[in-house]
Amino acid sequence: MSKLINAPLNESELTNRERRKLTRKIYTDGYSSRSKYVSLYNEDGFMITTGADLCDCGTQECPGCHFPCVKCRSLKCGHECRRNRKWKYETVKCDTVTR
């Protein structure tokens, strides 16, 4: 299947947008050039590297200590859903008072 492109006869007739479209690098794998970060979580909320269903608090044994996620209803998502997320929490600070 071939595309018919109605290109102007000379380069002076090109608009800036048309020039950018012609010089833009086309990727065959489907990813755009702006996507520079790789997802850390898959579409089910599991970590891609380890396959673990780790809570955002960072505790391995935690059954989920957050309110239910509005997108996936999981108790293991923090303030943003883990599905296809590109970042993770490095540290968690708890401001509770122990008696």
Q: So where are the chain's domains?
A: 37-87
> 74, 44, 38: which is closest to 56 by C-alpha?
74
**7-16, 30-39, 48-57, 64-73: lowest mean pLDDT where?**
30-39
On the question of pLDDT at 4 being above 70, the answer is no
Confidence of residue 99 (pLDDT cuts 50, 70, 90): low
pLDDT at 77: 92
**Least confident among 22-26, 30-34, 45-49:** 30-34
For CA atoms 25, 30, 35, 40, the dihedral sign is negative
pLDDT reported for residue 7: 56
